Amino acid sequence: MPQFIENIAVPTKMTTEKSKRWNIFKWGCLAAAFIFLLYRLICFQHYEQLISQFKELSFWKTWFLWGVMLLLPANWLLESVKWQRLVRNSEKIDITSAFHSVMAGFLTAFFTPNRVGEVAGRIAFLQPENRKAGVTLSLVNSATQNIIMAVCGIPAAVIFFLNSKNSEYLGKSNLLGYFVMVGVILLLLSSIYFSLPKLVGRIKQKKSSAKWISYISCLTDYSFTDLLKILLLSFLRYLVFSFQFYLMLRFFGVEITGWAAAIAIPTTYLFVTFTPSMAFSEAAIRSSYSVLVIGAFSGQTVQVILASTFIWIVNFVVPMLVGSFVLMQTHPIATNK
C-alpha cells in the first residue's frame, strides 16, 4: 500500500500515467466505500422504529441532536490538530491539509479491517518523500487512541461487570481472560509509545535496520512532553465523542443517569475497539455491545440500537462522505519542496 501511494502522486500538470494511477486509487476507494455503505443501509432492520421515534420527537429533545452536531467540528478539529502535531517533525502542514488528510483517512478506512486503510488516505496528502514516515505516524496515531480507550475503558468495564449479572452470563473466566489480554496490550502500547525515540535510536545503530530507517527515523525527535501532548489530544477527542454518544442516547429517549453513562459508554467503546471488525460493520458490533452494556441500565433496546447506529453515522459515515468530497476536489501534494 505505501509503495502504491508513492506512485499516485499528482503534480499540478499531471502526466497521463500518474493521472491514471490517481484516478484508479480515487475511484476505487469511492466505489468500495459507497458499496459497503449501501450494504449497511440495506441490512438495517429498524426503519419502522426509527420513523416512529421521529414522529414522537418532542422539541426539547432536538437540542440533544444539536449538541451532537455542534461537537462534530470539535471532534474533527482535535484529530486534525493531533495529526498536524504528529507529522510536523517530518513535514510542516497547515490545519487545512491536516483536515484533508484526516477526512481522506476516514474514507479509505471505511472498507478495510480495523480501519487499517486509514493510512492510505492520510499519507496521500504528504510529500512523496515523507509518506513512509507517514505510515508509521498513522499507526502511532491509532495507538494513542487505543491507549486512551483502554485506560478509560478497563476500570469502567471492571466496575460494570462486578455489579452486573452479565458477568455470570459471559463467564468469569472469559471476562478475566479478556481483561488480561487488553491489559497486556495497554501495557505494551504504553511502554512502546513512550519509549519510541530511544527504541528507534537503538534500532538505527544496527546495520540490519537500513531498510526500515525511512519509516522509523521520524520518531527520534519526539520528546516525552511531545508524546504526552499528543496523548492528551486523543483523550480530549475521546471525551468529545463519548459525550456525543451520551447526547445521542438522550435524543432517542434512553433514560440513563450520568454515572451509569460514565460506566457504560467507556465499556462499550472498549469492546468495540478491541473487537476485530470492518469499519462498515462497526455499527452492528457497536449496537450489540450497546445493548449488552447500556441495556443493563435501560430496557429500551430499540432506542439503544438506534442511538448507537446514529452516533456511528455521525462520527464515521458523515466524515467518510466529507472525505469523498475532499478526495474528488483536491489532489495530494506531489512536488518536492
Tens digits of per-residue pLDDT, 94-149?
999 999 999 999 988 887 777 778 888 898 888 888 888 899 999 999 989 989 99
- Which residues 6+ apart lie within 8 Å of 88 measured at CB? none
For the cut 90, the answer to whether the pLDDT of residue 42 exceeds it is no
Which residue did the predictor score with more confidence, 31 or 109?
A: 109
DSSP state letter for 315: I
Q: Report residue 134: phi and psi, to 5°.
A: -60, -35
- Rounded CA gap, 295 and 155, in Å? 19
Mean pLDDT of 299-324: 88
Q: What is the pLDDT of residue 337?
A: 42
C-alpha cell, 55: 414522529
In this predicted model, which residue has the larger pLDDT, 242 or 213? 242
Mean pLDDT of the chain: 80
What mean pLDDT do residues 306-316 have?
A: 89
Average pLDDT over residues 177-198: 80
In order of 46, 141, 270, 280, the CA distances from 39 in angstroms are 15, 29, 25, 9
Q: Are 297 and 160 in contact (CB under 8 A)?
A: no
Say how far apart CA 56 and CA 62 lie, in whole Å. 11
pLDDT recorded at residue 232: 95
Residue with the bigger pLDDT between 118 and 277: it is: 118
Checking if the pLDDT of 83 tops 80, the result is: yes
Please state the φ and ψ torsions of residue 154, each to the nearest 5 degrees: -60, -50
Which residue would you say has higher pLDDT here, 303 or 80?
A: 80
pLDDT beyond 60 at 12: no
pTM of the predicted model as reported, rounded to 2 decimal places:
0.81
Q: What percent of the chain has pLDDT over 70?
A: 76
Say which residue, 61 or 258, is predicted with more confidence: 258
Percent above pLDDT 90 for the chain: 26
The pLDDT-based confidence of 4 (bands split at 50, 70, 90) is very low
pLDDT surpassing 70 at residue 280? no
For residue 160, pLDDT beyond 50: yes
Contact 226, 288 (CB under 8 A): no
